[in-house]
Amino acid sequence: MNTELLAKLESIVSKDLKIDEPMAKHSHYKIGGLATYFATAQTSEEVVELVRTAIVHELDWVVIGAGTNILVNDAGFDGLVIKMANRSIQIDETSGEVVAEAGALSAMVARQTAMQGLTGFEWAVGLPGTIGGAVRGNAGCFGGETKDNLVSVDIVDGETGELRSVSAKKLKMGYRESEVKNKPWIVLRAHFKLEPRDIERNMEKIEDVLQCRATSQPKNERCAGCAYKNFEFADLADIAELVDVIGKENIPPNFIDQKRIPAGWIIDQAGLKGFKVGGASISDVHGNFVINGDDATADHIVQLLAAVKTKVRNLYGVQLEEEIQLIGF
């Protein structure tokens, strides 16, 4: 153990530093080995100091929010895990400007903005996880996406330690994509611009969204949400094999119109609901949920993810891509 490094990390977060911390405690999957150093950062300043320390000490680092979209290796993570617990949310009802720190829960931002007469973020009321995680993967559901009302983010560069403001345009956000995925950037806070609207109407929208979620997803499962991205295509020729095997008349027309086939639907067609590898299985309720049903290891999940991809590719010529973020692999 590097005592100088340890002393420095402790000087930044004090009691919020843990050594050999089980990552299973911090992942919605409840899976994952030990993190050598685990620091909970209560403020953005602490995040920056932690990152700069990791750079100076050439220590591998990774940030996590609420751990709802990660799978951590059984072997753990030999480096510094920074848990984002900077949670302040500032709302200016007059201008519609909202500044949420990366560790703030997306659902909390949705509820608070709606209750203060601002519309545009209600869709996220049932979204698990933090604003930082939502920006990185451009999280979305029920017709809304993180990018819709995003103006800019403040980041710290994990290679240089520099602070920067990056406009939403420069983040090149698309379906479950953003530049944060491609660069060593840590989101410290996000700036949104929402529109004024009656609180009553906002709360109706909140109720609708919660209702939709309650009826469309498995409840209380150890999982990371959708395991695969939905399959996007440019031209019907790209799904020729799928059309051939399943028959165009059996593919819902809106999938074709939107040029996006839900991964869960494809997995269901392949008869893979309930498919198991060790303690990991495909949910019986939703084909795109890979769950830790019975003391699964990360290895079980990874094997299942690979087996499903192979089966779907062999059957329909469709290459699925994981949405889950792997840590320590």
What residues line the site for ligand FAD (CB under 6 A)?
A: 28, 62-70, 84, 102, 127-130, 132-134, 136-137, 139-141, 180, 186-187, 217, 223-225, 325
| H/E stretch holding 6 | helix 3-13
- Residue number with CB closer to ligand FAD (67 or 96): 67
- Residue number with CB closer to ligand FAD (71 or 270): 71
Distance CA 6, CA 3 (A): 5
Q: What minimum distance in Å lies between the beta carbon of 85 and ligand FAD?
A: 11
- Residue number with CB closer to ligand FAD (177 or 241): 177
- DSSP symbol at 116: T
Q: What minimum distance in Å lies between the beta carbon of 70 and ligand FAD?
A: 4
Distance CA 21, CA 183 (A): 26
Cβ-Cβ contacts under 8 Å for 197 (sequence gap 6 or more): 117, 118, 119
Q: What minimum distance in Å lies between the beta carbon of 34 and ligand FAD?
A: 17
- Which residue shows structure tokens 């709802």? 68
- Residue 138: exposure state from Cβ atoms within 10 A (0-12, 13-18, ≥19): buried
- Residue number with CB closer to ligand FAD (84 or 282): 84
Q: What minimum distance in Å lies between the beta carbon of 252 and ligand FAD?
A: 19
Q: What number of residues does the chain have?
A: 329
Q: What minimum distance in Å lies between the beta carbon of 54 and ligand FAD?
A: 14
- Residue number with CB closer to ligand FAD (127 or 246): 127
User: Comparing C-alpha atoms, which of 193, 322, 318 is closest to residue 251?
Assistant: 318
Q: What minimum distance in Å lies between the beta carbon of 161 and ligand FAD?
A: 15
- Residue number with CB closer to ligand FAD (96 or 144): 144
Half-sphere exposure of 8 (CA within 13 A, CB side): 16
Cβ neighbours of 63 (radius 10 Å): 25
Cβ neighbours of 53 (radius 10 Å): 20
- Residue number with CB closer to ligand FAD (32 or 128): 128
Angle at 79 between CA 38 and CA 57, to 5 degrees: 110
Q: What minimum distance in Å lies between the beta carbon of 220 and ligand FAD?
A: 9
